[in-house]
Amino acid sequence: MISISFVTVTVLLLHLVSHSPTLAFPQYGSLAGLSAREWNELIPRLNQVDPPNPPEPLKYNGTKLVHDSAHPFEAPEPGDIRGPCPGLNTLANHGYLPHNGVASPSQIVNAVQEGFNMEHGTAVFLTHAAHLVDGNLVTDLLSIGEKTSKTGPDPPAPAIVGGLNTHAVFEGDVSMTRGDFFFGDNHSFNQTLFDQFVDYSSRYGGGFYNYTVAAELRFQRIQQSIATNPQFSFIAPRYFTAYAESVFPVNFFVDGRSTEKKLDMEAAALFFRDGKYPTDFHRAAQPSGTEGVDMVFMVHPIAPGGNQDDKVNNYVLDPTSADFDTFCLLYTNFVNQTIRGLYPNPTGVLRRNLIKNLGFFYSGIADAGCEELFPYGKL
């Protein structure tokens, strides 16, 4: 049986690193791609931010009205950025995050705690992991969707700060309401997939989405991608985050006053399609994370793997991928391969901010038993 505490931390590598053995990034580079000359030319044009410590846990962590008069729904305007995460889209549409969809890690940690009552360690770990690979580490800004100059001046090509839309970094295959990247759009609401979400909720949940539905729909989406996506990959960390994604709607989108862990379809449509709180919505009754993941996984367990040779229905197990017993391997690979690959020889402000963000990242899992790594030394 999977340990709840283990799953709670493993899942937080939510869409962090790519699928390849070298953890390379297929779409975007980063500030690490700059030559020394280019970096020296760029730095004076950036708003250099010394990243603050993450916000503290909520002083009051019970349920409360979050769709209140101070946080009305405001649809995104032209130029505002939204991305693959319906939770972050909702927080931006209700003013818990900047409406333009560009935020600092501190703003995101505050928002997911305040708006959904996400557990503090989960919020810190997830946010700084995403920021390390997708954000501008000098300006301390992250796009919740597409690449944008709003995070600061673009570094010279080919290095780009990609935002959360970047495939196989924040988002991954087999989303419940977003299509696989292979089919062209990995971040927009997909009505066909949502119709399937509703159908499975009707068949297995009596018209509600719950952990039972989550188990069946998660397995169905995996089988669909095996059968239709020749580039389907289901290895760590996406292997873990896909299961976490399955329980997040139950843990965060159900009104905190409810005594039953089930999501009705009207509320589901508002969150997934519109990025909008239901009327009079109250956040979760207690700090929450990945409760229910073990339940979902054990119904249809499947080992990490992916389609090989660019062929559908050619799912091959990958024995090198981390599984639910090797979280520390995920952490080690993320730091030593992904981050070191993006930033091989940082200096000055970039090195300082890398060291700080890696420390914040680790603080979210400090009790998981993993040895903290210091690839760039200590301050």
pLDDT tens, residue by residue, 257-302: 999 999 999 999 999 999 999 999 999 999 999 899 999 999 999 9
- Closest to 16 (Cα-Cα) out of 143, 152, 127: 127
pLDDT in tens, 67-76: 999 999 999 9
Residue 117: partners with Cβ closer than 8 Å, 6 or more residues away: 58, 61, 63, 252, 256, 283, 284, 285, 286, 287, 288
- pLDDT value of residue 224: 98
- pTM of the entire structure? 0.87
- pLDDT value of residue 168: 61
Q: The domain 47-364 belongs to what CATH superfamily? A: Chloroperoxidase-like (1.10.489.10)
Element of type H or E holding 132: helix 120-134
Show me where the domains of the chain are located. Answer: 47-364
Query: CB–CB of 67/94 below 8 Å?
Result: yes
- pLDDT value of residue 43: 63
- Closest to 63 (Cα-Cα) out of 301, 246, 288: 288
Helices (H), 139-260: 191-205, 211-228, 238-252
> ∠222-305-338 over CA atoms, to 5°?
110
Mean pLDDT for all residues in the chain: 87
- pLDDT value of residue 25: 33
- pLDDT value of residue 17: 35
- pLDDT value of residue 71: 98
- pLDDT value of residue 181: 85
Tens of pLDDT, residue by residue, the chain (379 residues): 333 333 333 334 443 333 333 333 333 345 555 565 565 666 666 688 999 999 999 999 999 999 999 999 999 999 999 999 999 999 999 999 999 999 999 999 999 999 999 999 989 998 998 999 889 998 999 999 999 999 987 543 333 478 888 766 556 899 999 999 899 888 899 999 999 999 999 999 999 999 999 999 999 999 999 999 999 999 887 888 899 899 999 999 999 999 999 999 999 999 999 999 999 999 999 999 989 999 999 999 999 999 999 999 999 999 888 888 888 888 988 898 888 888 888 888 889 999 999 999 999 999 999 999 999 999 9
- pLDDT value of residue 1: 38
- pLDDT value of residue 44: 60
Distance from C-alpha of 304 to C-alpha of 233, rounded to nearest angstrom:
8
- Closest to 204 (Cα-Cα) out of 34, 196, 139, 339: 196
Distance from C-alpha of 60 to C-alpha of 70, rounded to nearest angstrom:
18
pLDDT in tens, 289-339: 989 999 999 999 999 999 999 999 999 999 888 888 888 888 988 898 888
- pLDDT value of residue 338: 80
- pLDDT value of residue 342: 81
**Cα 260 vs. chain centroid, distance in angstroms?**
26
